[in-house]
Amino acid sequence: MENYHEVDIEKYYRRGPYEHFSAVKCSTSMTNRIDVTNLYNSAKSNGRRFYIDVLYLISKTLNSREDYRLFYNYQNNKLLCFDKINPTHYVFFEESETCTPFYSEYFEDYDKFKSGVEADSAKAREKGVYDLQEQTHPNWFDASCNKWLSYESMSLELPDGYLYFNPIVVWGSYRREDNGRLTMPISIRLNHAVADGYLIAKFFITFEKEMNEFIAKYN
């Protein structure tokens, strides 16, 4: 298991909302269209895969603060915070119209992250089975690209009574707007016990900040 520490509920800065929404059990989600024109152009000009760029930036954003790395341990009724969370993403098989999930480790070093994702993807294509390994990969978040659609909103429901804190992030294809810019929908689902509207907004704000810094560094 990845390194983690227990959150002291007595000192947790969101103790009130945490206790309330742990009892109510509800989630919160939001979709935002992000201008990815410069990121797309940078990837194309420098021979990078746009998908890996987006996955890296989502992973870096979610690892930027503890609020996105929380995990509820049912066995001990403990709120835990992982030192790092990693993406679980998917390989899609056109012939069968099915997908298989696979795990990649997040590294702040982009080149190391990229190499890992490429190797993991190749192995998943060879394996070709739907095989979640949640017991050995507790510190993961779900990252799914719906490349067939540039949508406006997304809703994902989980069973009532289930305190699931791992982030779920979905993004669609980019769309060229009338002004020539490319916009892409990104959606995030978080449990309301550990996140609110501010933390969702902060995700998008941080993503755009990281994206601009990434472009400046790797152009």
The contacts of residue 96 (CB under 8 Å, 6+ apart) are none
Choice among 31-45, 85-99, 155-169 with the minimum mean pLDDT: 155-169
In the chain, % of residues over pLDDT 90: 82
Main-chain phi, psi angles of 58, to 5 degrees:
-65, -45
Average confidence score pLDDT of the chain: 93
Entry pTM:
0.95
Q: What is the pLDDT of residues 24-64, one digit of tens each?
A: 888 999 999 999 999 999 999 999 999 999 999 999 999 99
- Residue 57 has a pLDDT of 98
Q: Do the Cβ atoms of 211 and 41 come closer than 8 Å?
A: no
The contacts of residue 34 (CB under 8 Å, 6+ apart) are 183, 184, 185, 186, 204, 207, 208, 211
What is the total count of domains within the chain?
1
CATH code assigned at 122: 3.30.559.10
Distances in Å between the alpha carbon of 187 and those of 112, 126, 172, 192? 26, 29, 9, 15
Choice among 52-66, 100-114, 128-142, 175-189 with the minimum mean pLDDT: 128-142
Query: Whole domain around residue 75: which residue ranges?
Result: 4-218
Say whether pLDDT at 172 is over 70. yes
- Per DSSP, the three-state class of 114 is helix
Return the bridge partners of 142, or none. 88, 168
